[in-house]
A and B are shown apart, each in its own frame.
Chain A
């Protein structure tokens, strides 16, 4: 697989040279491949937010490099700005950054900054709005009249409208009800498939990432202790527990069942897999 974003020995120190100095990242080698759905998990303060802000050039590395399609994004100021359009970043609680008079204008802010022509902006705004399930009549409303969940959709659409090749979302489902969580995760999946884009989902919910992503990267104390498919990562149940992350509920249940002598060999981390594993163990086809 071809790497789209890479970091090499990336380190970041906040407030360097003051008593508040704090190392957030320590020589991180991170790779995201083209077209994959990647999950990043880590505890609050693990450095995961710092890491993703490096990927689109918002933070400048204290040491090390960030490569986008093999080029150092800090080599040239133009490239740094271009990277922000190629790598879309949706922050936590993005609804707090809405500012325009209408939903339409707010979504158009990103594409407008890219210097696109009116027609293209219009197309992108409407496509992005459709992706997150906003109706046409909502486009002319003020974003502040919408409900919390809808505001979040508008904010996500604002980044999707830039049609980034890499879409990074920091806890996109935080504070939403279960129905809202499902539908936002569905929208993200749709974008991933429709544009063949690389999607990076940052979360601390194991359940959420376990059923969405192809590959998982664990961040802890400014380093990446392990990464791999969810199945591989969840094998480190004890270490994950020690980091305060834990494994999905289903994995925990089945680990206990195995410990009690149940004959289950398949990896289990979603409800679907759990169902199949039980049926298999019971000998039902």
Chain B
């Protein structure tokens, strides 16, 4: 079933140092990594960041196969970006010129780096979701954003909404799978026919799915109220987030990585 291949935001249980790290550290480190990626301009800096990424993947003990599978859904975007960059980058070194299509050396170079950048960006962020359970992740985001509470941003509510949404993704996928099977057992055909036919074929899937999502939301709201949930005010936590020495080391290293990328960029590398 194709639905099972969706790995977006999937947690990969484990006990590696990356798994044990504080979610806030990982979030900050990933942010710094993304900044570094956008500062990188050449083979040297990309190579450096690639080594960092490779080391992290090795450290996380997430199988390479799963990481590669996560890249599958973005193949289209990658091809599209590469094509656009190759075709529309002006430059002096013209490689091919056919009719209105001009391919320049600069274009190929930009396209190449763009694709590498997107792939490394996605792999890096995937590594975060692979090694951090959704609950911890939202806890981390809530904690990092808590200063915004002073500006009356409903941080707790947003985090709660996010953890509920994350929590229900697998449930909804499972539900979709079940309904799909049930309708296929009644002869529904989701795979063949014209686009309009296939869109129509989704109605027997989407209607029950929406109804069950609303039903679940309702049940969840009642269950939460029964346990006296009334927002974040004065609410204590089961899991307290605490920075360990490892987290400080990681943060310093991540900052170092970002600065190195910046310095390398300054030297035009």
Binding site for B on A (CB under 8 A): 15, 17-19, 53, 56, 58, 81, 84-85, 88-89, 91, 94, 96-99, 109-110, 113-114, 144, 158-159, 162
Contacts and interface: CB of A to CB of B under 8 A. Distances in A.
Contacts of B203: 99
Interface stretch (B41-49, B74-82, B176-184, B258-266): B176-184
22 contacts: A19-B12, A53-B181, A84-B184, A85-B187, A88-B185, A89-B185, A91-B181, A91-B182, A94-B182, A96-B179, A96-B211, A97-B179, A97-B183, A99-B208, A109-B188, A110-B186, A113-B188, A114-B187, A144-B211, A159-B185, A159-B186, A162-B186
Nearest to A91: B182
Interface in B169-215: 178-179, 181-189, 203-204, 207-208, 211-212
Interface residues of B, number: 22
B181 A110 contact: no
B185 A91 contact: yes
Contacts of A88: 185
Contact of A162 (B183, B184, B187, B208): B187
A248 B185 CA distance: 32
Contacts of B188: 109, 113
A148 to B, nearest CB: 12
A93 B183 CA distance: 13
A19 B63 CA distance: 9
Nearest to B204: A99
A110 B204 CA distance: 11
B66 interface: yes
B187 A91 contact: no
B186 A109 contact: yes
B4 interface: yes
Interface of B: 4, 12, 63, 65-66, 178-179, 181-189, 203-204, 207-208, 211-212
B207 A81 contact: no
A110 B4 contact: no
A280 to B, nearest CB: 46
A85 B184 CA distance: 10
4 closest A-B pairs by CB: A113-B187, A99-B207, A110-B186, A97-B182
Given A97-B208, A98-B208, A113 B185 contact: no
Contacts of A53: 181
Nearest to A168: B185
Contacts of B12: 19
A2 B111 CA distance: 65
Given A18-B66, A96-B179, A97-B179, A109 B204 contact: yes
Nearest to A53: B181
Nearest to A14: B4
A110 B181 CA distance: 13
Contacts of A109: 183, 186-188, 204
A85 B208 CA distance: 22
Contacts of A19: 12, 63, 66
A222 B64 CA distance: 30
Contacts of A58: 181, 184-185
B63 A113 contact: no
Interface-central residue, A56, A58, A94, by most chain B CB under 10 Å: A58
